[in-house]
Amino acid sequence: MKNIIILLTTVALVSCSSTKVFMDYDKDVDLKSYKTYNYFLSEDTGLSELDEKRVIEAIDSILPQKGFPQKTIPDFNVNFYAETYTVNSQSSIGVGLGGGGGRVGGGVSGGIPINTSKDMIALTIEFVDALNKELFWQAVVETRLKPKQNPTERQAFFNMMVLKALEKYPPQPNKTKKRKSKL
């Protein structure tokens, strides 16, 4: 029952959120050579110990489904860290008043400033070659940070972020069609 609630909450978050995903990888690396993973975390992930466990749990549920088992001696190590920041939005509402009659017209207008701020989180997940310690894949997921979540909602939140990050891993090579020249 708990898993169903987490799944439904994850689906709701994915469908309603304005999440941005940025992904990059080394095009010269053969991604097919990486079959197993483990963790090598930064000392400061920017997350609480509980949130670190939530991210690990989410990664451990997704990577094996994609055919990447966790091993003690892996082909690649997973690192992740998060940054939180605030985005300030300065908007205004315009109010206008005008009138006229005959050949005379006049108007008055003014703006009412509206300052809002959003707390954001950027979760970065990196895959690093276990032997040469070189980064070969990275995804950054940015979304609005939801305050006052209970533990189940928080797990669903991190599940959504990890799911978005790993959604297109491994990346598919671009299959661009070559145009035939008309010479």
Is 129 a member of any domain?
Answer: yes
- Range with the lowest mean pLDDT among 1-5, 46-50, 100-104, 149-153? 1-5
Number of compact structural domains in the chain:
1
The pTM of the full predicted model, rounded to 2 decimals, is: 0.74
Helices (H) and strands (E) in the chain, counts: 3, 5
Among residues 172, 160, 168, which one has the least CA distance to residue 59?
160
Residue 99: its pLDDT value, please?
A: 66
Instruction: Confirm whether 174 is domain-assigned.
Output: no
Residue 128 included in any domain:
yes
Write out pLDDT tens, residues 88-124.
Answer: 876 666 666 666 666 666 666 666 667 788 999 999 9
CA–CA dist 76, 74 (Å, integer): 5
- Whether 64 maps to a domain, the answer reads yes
> Regarding predicted confidence, which is higher, 44 or 7?
44
161's tokens: 């972020």
Q: Where are the alpha helices (DSSP H) in the chain?
A: 2-16, 49-62, 151-166
The answer as to whether 73 is a domain residue is: yes
φ, ψ at 13 (rounded to 5°): -65, -40
